[in-house]
Amino acid sequence: MTAATLADDCGGNRPPAPPKQHAKAEAKSKAKANPDLKGDSARGVAARACEQSSMQLAIDAPAGAMPGELHVKRVELFDETGASLGELTASAPTRWLDLESYVPWDQRIEPGHELAVSYALSQPSWRGVKDRWNKTYVVKAVISVGGADQTVQQSVEVSAPTSLPPGVKT
């Protein structure tokens, strides 16, 4: 697992765009729709867009390997003490294509290919978690590649959101 994001559940239906490109495109779109939004204001609107919880995996299939499929069997979130906070549902598999964007992926792995793939994750249930901010969590996933289970994990820092009250000039 190369990265994980703990955020919202935005429906997981569309492939995520690269974060910087998505934010810029969103800001341009909002600025066109409302010409009064300029500079930081337009970027602020884009920053408030829904951020999908997700995990990214790097797959390197050696040339001599058999073709196979990857299946996410289980994704679980743990706090800093190692206590489980529950399972997350993985959906909407996508793969990175030509340094341009994520496209839907059938989860097939062909020999001799390197893949960067992403799965949308359901939003963590923070019920019962006191002060979830500014802590490190661990996302663990059990994946099956060609019928063989593997466990991968990634630490994720959840920072407190920072924003100024409405009307504050900077």
Give domain status of residue 125, yes or no. yes
In which band, very low, low, confident or very high, does the pLDDT at 8 lie, cut at 50, 70 and 90?
confident
**Nearest one of 124, 125, 118, 69 to 91, comparing CA atoms:** 118
C-alpha triplet 149, 152, 153: angle, nearest 5°: 150
Give domain status of residue 139, yes or no. yes
In which band, very low, low, confident or very high, does the pLDDT at 170 lie, cut at 50, 70 and 90?
low
Residue-level pLDDT at 37? 44
Q: State how far the Cα of 43 lies from the Cα of 168, in Å rounded to an integer.
A: 16
Give domain status of residue 44, yes or no. no
Residue 108 amino acid letter: R
Give domain status of residue 23, yes or no. no
CB 77 within 8 A of CB 128: no
pLDDT digits (tens, 9 = 90+) for 31-53: 444 445 455 444 444 445 788 99
Give domain status of residue 18, yes or no. no
DSSP letter assigned to residue 133? S
Upper half-sphere CA count for residue 119 (Cβ side, 13 Å): 23
* Tokens linked to 136: 């490190």
**Nearest one of 50, 20, 168, 43 to 120, comparing CA atoms:** 50
pLDDT at position 97 over 50: yes
Give domain status of residue 16, yes or no. no
Domain count for the chain? 1
Residue-level pLDDT at 86? 95
Q: State how far the Cα of 16 lies from the Cα of 34, in Å rounded to an integer.
A: 24
* Tokens linked to 16: 């995520």
CATH of the domain at 73: 2.60.40
* Tokens linked to 54: 């997700």
Q: Which domain holds residue 85?
A: 3-7+52-158
Residue-level pLDDT at 16? 45
- List helix spans (H) across the chain: 19-33, 40-47
Residue-level pLDDT at 164? 65
Q: State how far the Cα of 49 lies from the Cα of 59, in Å rounded to an integer.
A: 29
Give domain status of residue 94, yes or no. yes
Give domain status of residue 36, yes or no. no
